[in-house]
Structure 1
Amino acid sequence: PVHVEGPLPVILSIHGGGWSSGSKARSPAIRFAARGYAVASINYRLSGEAVFPAQIEDCKAAVRWLRANAVKYNLNPDRIAAFGSSAGGHLAALLGTSAGVAELEGVKPQPEESSRVQAVIDFFGPTDLLVMGGMHDRPDSPESRLIGGPIQELKDKAARANPILYLSRDDPPFLIVHGDQDRVVPLRQSQLLHEALVAAGVESTFRVVPGAGHGFSRPEIDELVLAFLERHLKRPVARQGWVDPDRSEPAGTMYRVFHSQSACGEMSYLVYLPPGYHSSQQRYPVIYWLHGIGATQRTGATRAGFVSRIDAAIRNKQMPPVIIVLVNGLRDSWYVDSLDGRRPVESAIIKDLIPHVDATYRTVAARSARAIEGFSMGGFGAAHLGFKFPEWFGAVTIVSGAMLPATEPGNYAAFGFNRDYFLANSPHVLAEKNAAAIASGTRVRILVGEKDPLLEGNRRFHEWLLRLGIPHEFAVIPGVPHQVGRMYEALGDRTPQFYSAVFAAAVGEAAVSAASFQPPRDSTL
């Protein structure tokens, strides 16, 4: 679609054709692009070229590619639906139930990206190949060609193609549609999938279309699909996203909600507590991690791998134990108070979240023991907050930051499309305004990938800080694009080394046990 704002939810369209024919060229999902969705119609290896699981491997590779290129194409990497009919419906369903199943991932381009989808639309797709019966059991049937031999003689392999095999409670919601006069894929195939989803506790909507055969187009079904997509890809979260509806707790984090006076209600976050926290009276430094545009508070513990890397470094005594807070920055707040006052994210963090964390956990409530770091939009946010409130943060890390130049008009909704308000919140302007305070007590680093489209913006910001006399580290990481997981993987031990050096100065204030870690000799990038 054209003339749209913000990252778009994505429909991954998977064609049918008995796994042996068909093409991405004719996608029934294209008609939904006019309703505010990006549509990615894909090809996959057909059964005449490669047998199962090549087809699902290609679908998973497509999802990972979309996430890896989300910034480039203005896509929301956390709002992807799989949509397919017939054989495409089967692959969409399998994509929905097999997230994290290594044997179906194949060779992994963009290995740091997840192949999980957030919704599935399955139109009359096969489910259990072994119970379809009749012509489907023949050695030359589409199902047998998919598996690489007669399915009743290769039952174990055929069973691996059944989406039900991989079901788990955390699978995404399904919409299943099937005609009651389908003579190609029996209606019972969709019934089996729906029943299994419901039994596993997964949301499933099942619509039987009276009088419809194997393929149909009806306005009421289009409206059903759009309503499903709106609910699951465009759904408004509670109070404009202040409370993340996903209460999962990845990578050793805990999901927490507190009352934010600025937000006039509850606000969620994830917190990581280091090993030994509950068995000691020790106080700890805190790192606040800010996600990018279209992402969520979970990103630092999932796609970024930030939490797991810090945890490993603490356990290996490469850095002192710290608390990590993964901040809910809404979808596209830029970590500022919106001009219209409806999304006061800056105030919620500075006035509410940080005091709440210091009151709730055993933190060292001091500038030298508090750091802020963010990726992309979060990098902008880390610079914005760190440079506007230098007395609050002893370290600011900008990772692949969306460092919008001060000369660019304020063309983002958070700034009310107001250039003056944009400039008032610009890290460039704030760095100049508070240069002395930043230079005297904040360690700053800027990290960006060599292949990142935001490289030049980060380089210009580095040069701006040089002109302002603000000491900082600037590193271009070889071969890394705008991908959060790739960046942290490439940084390796350098992030723990940085924080070891940052928080070493806070040891006296922090009552961090000097015996609990040994800072490395060379702790610079």
Structure 2
Amino acid sequence: MMAVILGGFGRAFADDIQTHETTEVTSRGPLVVKAFLAAGPGPHPAIIVLHGSQGLEKYRNFYERNATQLAQAGFDAYVLNYYNEQDVAYSKTVETRRANFSRRIGDWAQMISDVVTKVEAQEPKTRPVGIVGFSQGGYLGTAVASQDKRIAALVVYYGGIPPQRAAGSKHPITHMPPLLELHGDADTVVPIERGRELVEMTRSLGQPAEMVVYPGAGHGFTPPAATDAEHRALEFFQKQLMGKK
């Protein structure tokens, strides 16, 4: 087993969050991780942030803003750039993105679980871990959370069940953590039915699952839907990972 090296994730105690970016070695290849560490002594619950199919760079500010908000609320947030150069090349069209996802979902899921292993090892006590995924990142987060029981909470923005793990597939999902699914009813990229299927499946496995629908919203939210969704995601993680009511 190859080790994941996260030496740059050491915490510096300060009045504000600390950030570190490192390239980690995983069992399926290198992965760039940017950590946003909450201020003060831990252990802090950890949240993995997964970007969409167009890659990290196009919307880096958005993903890092979300991670910053989570760190300011007392979580350690980790933005994962799970694309390599070839993945970036395949991200140019919808067709190539979908084909690449089918090829790479297994590798990506294992890379994320490898990072979770070392994220947990940074603290002397076990800490809960959540995932928030956007679009393709939501599909990928579902794949990871369905097979890695260390994931204690999952937030999916306009995502669904990966076709490779759907009912009737070779490897259908049999486990899920508590779920919050956020979707616009005017989404033409990932139809709202995909989100409903994910929620219904999670409930069928005995886990709580909530879906929030934003009337008129498409794929990707703008204010006030975006603000409301971020607030709901934060409250969900506080409840599931911090025990707040």
TM-score range, shorter chain: 0.5 to 0.7
Going from structure 1 to structure 2, the CA distance change for 1:186 and 1:236 (only over 3 Å counts) comes to closer
Query: Highest relative contact order (Cα 8 Å, sep 6+), 1 or 2?
Result: 2
User: 2 CA distance for matches of 1:158 and 1:209?
Assistant: 26
Going from structure 1 to structure 2, the CA distance change for 1:78 and 1:180 (only over 3 Å counts) comes to same
Task: Calculate the aligned-residue CA RMSD, in Å.
Answer: 2.7
Q: Which runs of 5+ in 2 are unaligned?
A: 1-16, 18-37, 91-99
Going from structure 1 to structure 2, the CA distance change for 1:236 and 1:220 (only over 3 Å counts) comes to closer
- Alignment of 1:220 with 2:228, yes or no, is yes
- Superposition map of 1:84-163 within 5 A: 84-99=133-148, 116-129=150-163
What is the CA distance between 1:116 and its match in structure 2?
1.9
The question of whether the paired residues in 1 share the 8 Å contact of 2:165 and 2:173 is answered with no
Going from structure 1 to structure 2, the CA distance change for 1:205 and 1:197 (only over 3 Å counts) comes to same
Q: Which runs of 5+ in 1 are unaligned?
A: 100-114, 130-156, 238-525
What is the CA distance between 1:128 and its match in structure 2?
4.6
The question of whether the paired residues in 1 share the 8 Å contact of 2:50 and 2:137 is answered with yes
- Superposition map of 1:71-470 within 5 A: 71=124, 77-99=126-148, 116-129=150-163, 165-168=172-175, 171-217=176-222, 218-235=226-243
Going from structure 1 to structure 2, the CA distance change for 1:3 and 1:67 (only over 3 Å counts) comes to closer
The question of whether the paired residues in 1 share the 8 Å contact of 2:46 and 2:127 is answered with no
- Alignment of 1:44 with 2:97, yes or no, is no
User: 2 CA distance for matches of 1:158 and 1:199?
Assistant: 15
What is the CA distance between 1:198 and its match in structure 2?
1.0
User: 1 CA distance for matches of 2:119 and 2:174?
Assistant: 24
Going from structure 1 to structure 2, the CA distance change for 1:159 and 1:175 (only over 3 Å counts) comes to closer
SS in 1 for 2:67: helix
User: 2 CA distance for matches of 1:3 and 1:199?
Assistant: 38
> 2:56 is aligned with what amino acid?
G
Aligned residues between the structures: 185
User: 2 CA distance for matches of 1:81 and 1:128?
Assistant: 18
* Stretches (4+) displaced over 3 A: 23-26, 45-50, 157-160
TM-score, L = length of structure 1: 0.33
Instruction: Give a deviation string over 1:354-406, Cα, whole Å, max 9, x none.
Output: xxxxxxxxxxxxxxxxxxxxxxxxxxxxxxxxxxxxxxxxxxxxxxxxxxxxx
Instruction: Give a deviation string over 1:221-254, Cα, whole Å, max 9, x none.
Output: 22211211111111069xxxxxxxxxxxxxxxxx
Structure 2 counterpart of 1:56: 109
> 1:200 is aligned with what amino acid?
L
Structure 2 counterpart of 1:453: none
Instruction: Give a deviation string over 1:71-98, Cα, whole Å, max 9, x none.
Output: 4xxxx64311111100111111112111
Instruction: Give a deviation string over 1:2-24, Cα, whole Å, max 9, x none.
Output: 54233111111111125xx3359
User: 2 CA distance for matches of 1:93 and 1:30?
Assistant: 23
- Alignment of 1:66 with 2:119, yes or no, is yes
TM-score, L = length of structure 2: 0.67
The question of whether the paired residues in 1 share the 8 Å contact of 2:143 and 2:162 is answered with no
User: 2 CA distance for matches of 1:126 and 1:6?
Assistant: 33
The question of whether the paired residues in 2 share the 8 Å contact of 1:124 and 1:176 is answered with yes
The question of whether the paired residues in 2 share the 8 Å contact of 1:180 and 1:209 is answered with yes
Q: Which moved more, 1:216-225 or 1:190-199?
A: 216-225
Instruction: Give a deviation string over 1:452-491, Cα, whole Å, max 9, x none.
Output: xxxxxxxxxxxxxxxxxxxxxxxxxxxxxxxxxxxxxxxx
User: 1 CA distance for matches of 2:112 and 2:159?
Assistant: 15
The question of whether the paired residues in 2 share the 8 Å contact of 1:85 and 1:125 is answered with yes
What is the CA distance between 1:220 and its match in structure 2?
1.9
User: 2 CA distance for matches of 1:180 and 1:159?
Assistant: 22
The question of whether the paired residues in 2 share the 8 Å contact of 1:66 and 1:77 is answered with no
> 1:16 is aligned with what amino acid?
G
> 1:68 is aligned with what amino acid?
A
> 2:120 is aligned with what amino acid?
R
User: 2 CA distance for matches of 1:57 and 1:127?
Assistant: 17
Going from structure 1 to structure 2, the CA distance change for 1:220 and 1:25 (only over 3 Å counts) comes to closer
The question of whether the paired residues in 2 share the 8 Å contact of 1:173 and 1:204 is answered with yes
Percent of aligned pairs sharing the same letter? 25
Going from structure 1 to structure 2, the CA distance change for 1:195 and 1:51 (only over 3 Å counts) comes to same
Going from structure 1 to structure 2, the CA distance change for 1:158 and 1:127 (only over 3 Å counts) comes to closer
Higher strand share: 2
- Answer with 1 or 2: which has the greater Rg: 1
> 2:192 is aligned with what amino acid?
L
User: 2 CA distance for matches of 1:221 and 1:205?
Assistant: 12
Going from structure 1 to structure 2, the CA distance change for 1:65 and 1:187 (only over 3 Å counts) comes to same
Structure 2 counterpart of 1:14: 50
SS in 2 for 1:167: coil
The question of whether the paired residues in 1 share the 8 Å contact of 2:143 and 2:165 is answered with no
Structure 1 counterpart of 2:13: none
User: 2 CA distance for matches of 1:226 and 1:9?
Assistant: 12
SS in 1 for 2:231: helix
Going from structure 1 to structure 2, the CA distance change for 1:55 and 1:98 (only over 3 Å counts) comes to same
The question of whether the paired residues in 2 share the 8 Å contact of 1:13 and 1:39 is answered with yes
